[in-house]
């Protein structure tokens, strides 16, 4: 039997390795386009689509689910937006937690967990970010997508050199043209991203949404952190909510929505609709520039040695312990803030009330971990 030359064995092994890599990358790429499952709880009464409010989105990656949790009792309505920036995961996880656990007693809760659905299908280039992260639950690990800050360029390209905001004429960096939170109030004939925000704006108008909460995260060195940003029409509401959050042991600040910065949800939704527009920010080390390796573990645990050192030198706008700021605490902040905004709305003497029922408190979520409320087998 003729001996096979060593170079043939080497070439064959390299071919097999290349094939394995191609298969792996193909499976990984395909998985980015598959939505992670959400398990609607007993409070969900209906699931709509954003294309119901802007038909131009139908059949595109801009279309996304709207979960309706209608108490069946008269009351006001609140909209929670998660996934405006899919690389800010506590907003997504908080939205999913509401869908799977909330049972309103009065009024209606609307939840859109993937506001920029397209941005879940990619990651930010040159950031070394993970594509997924997992949260431990009693029934096993649960996987979530870690997406991009901006619309997938497959859906909208190229970026202009300068982004001109459609209704104000404000100019920004061209990359902001794919940022959902720079495209409000949107246009049904505009860019892909503007068509998404147009649908969101139309949804709020059509359903007479009284409060809108846009959930975000920011780097610990960012001045607007652990904060509620509010349109001037929502400042009293946000102030009452912040006071109650502080009573629960959270440091929280109030920031006024800038009148000269356009395209943001808390500015344009407050100007173009009757909703009380707010945005919440939590502190996430994976968002910042002082971080070490951007890993799935960092996203979940929030532990980063370099941010801890920066905090010791007073370089941050938030306390950063050696144990980090985990996703449990960040989601707990969001859920508590949403509850307190509803409570403040009721305390301000509005004719219709909003009661989200018995949601876990800030302390309960921090103590048990958010995974306790995300068990897919429960």
| CATH number of the domain bearing residue 352 | 3.40.630.10
pLDDT at residue 125, rounded to an integer: 75
The verdict on residue 31 lying in a domain is no
pLDDT at residue 14, rounded to an integer: 58
The verdict on residue 205 lying in a domain is yes
The verdict on residue 14 lying in a domain is no
Residue with tokens 């998404």: 196
In terms of C-beta density within 10 A (0-12 exposed, 13-18 middle, 19 or more buried), how is residue 263 classed?
Answer: buried
pLDDT at residue 42, rounded to an integer: 97
The verdict on residue 71 lying in a domain is yes
The verdict on residue 37 lying in a domain is no
The verdict on residue 1 lying in a domain is no
The verdict on residue 36 lying in a domain is no
The verdict on residue 148 lying in a domain is yes
Domain that holds residue 232: 42-373
* Contact between residue 210 and residue 348 where contact means Cβ atoms under 8 Å apart: no
Half-sphere exposure of 368 (CA within 13 A, CB side): 15
How many domains in the chain?
1
Mean pLDDT, 10 residues at a time, the chain of 378 residues: 60 54 44 85 98 97 98 98 98 98 98 98 88 96 97 96 96 96 97 98 98 97 96 98 93 96 98 98 94 94 97 95 97 97 95 95 97 93
Residues forming a β-bridge with 212: 79, 277
Question: Residue 249: phi, psi to the nearest 5?
Answer: 100, 15
pLDDT at residue 126, rounded to an integer: 77
- Taking the C-alpha atoms of residue 100 and residue 77, their distance in angstroms, rounded to an integer, is 18
pLDDT at residue 20, rounded to an integer: 44
**Cβ-Cβ contacts under 8 Å for 215 (sequence gap 6 or more):** 80, 81, 82, 84, 88, 90, 91, 92, 94, 95, 279, 280, 334
């Amino acid at each position: 039997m003729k001996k096979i030359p060593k170079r043939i064995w080497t070439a064959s092994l390299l071919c097999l390795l290349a094939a394995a890599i191609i298969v792996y990358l193909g499976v990984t790429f395909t998985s980015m386009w598959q939505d992670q499952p959400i398990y609607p709880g007993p409070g969900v009464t209906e699931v709509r689509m954003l294309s119901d409010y802007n038909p131009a989105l139908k059949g595109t990656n801009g279309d996304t689910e709207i979960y309706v949790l209608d108490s069946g009792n008269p009351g006001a309505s609140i909209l929670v937006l998660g996934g405006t920036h899919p690389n800010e995961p506590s907003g997504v996880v908080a939205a999913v937690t509401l869908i799977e656990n909330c049972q309103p007693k009065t009024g209606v809760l609307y939840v859109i967990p993937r506001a920029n659905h397209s941005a879940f299908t990619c990651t930010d280039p040159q950031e070394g970010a993970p594509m997924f992260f997992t949260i431990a639950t009693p029934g096993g690990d649960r996987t979530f997508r870690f997406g991009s800050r901006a619309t997938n360029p497959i859906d909208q390209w190229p970026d202009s050199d300068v982004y001109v905001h459609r209704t104000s004429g404000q100019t920004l960096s061209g990359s902001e043209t794919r940022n959902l939170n720079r495209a409000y109030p949107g246009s049904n004939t505009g860019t892909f991203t503007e068509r998404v925000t147009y649908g969101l704006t139309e949804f709020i108008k059509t359903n007479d949404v009284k409060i809108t909460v846009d959930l975000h995260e920011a780097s610990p060195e960012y001045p607007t952190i652990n904060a509620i940003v509010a349109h001037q029409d929502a400042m009293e509401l946000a102030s009452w909510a912040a006071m109650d959050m502080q009573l629960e042991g959270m440091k929280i600040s109030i920031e006024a929505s800038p009148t000269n910065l356009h395209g943001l949800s808390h500015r344009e939704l407050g100007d173009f609709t009757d909703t009380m527009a707010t945005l919440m920010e939590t502190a996430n080390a994976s968002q910042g520039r002082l971080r070490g390796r951007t890993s799935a573990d960092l996203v979940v645990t929030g532990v980063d040695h370099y941010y801890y050192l920066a905090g010791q030198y007073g370089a941050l706008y938030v306390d950063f312990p050696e144990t980090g700021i985990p996703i449990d605490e960040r989601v707990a902040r969001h859920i508590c803030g949403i509850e307190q905004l509803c409570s403040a709305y009721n305390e301000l003497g509005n004719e219709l009330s909003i009661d989200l029922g018995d949601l876990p408190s800030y302390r309960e979520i921090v103590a048990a971990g958010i995974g306790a409320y995300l068990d897919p087998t429960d």
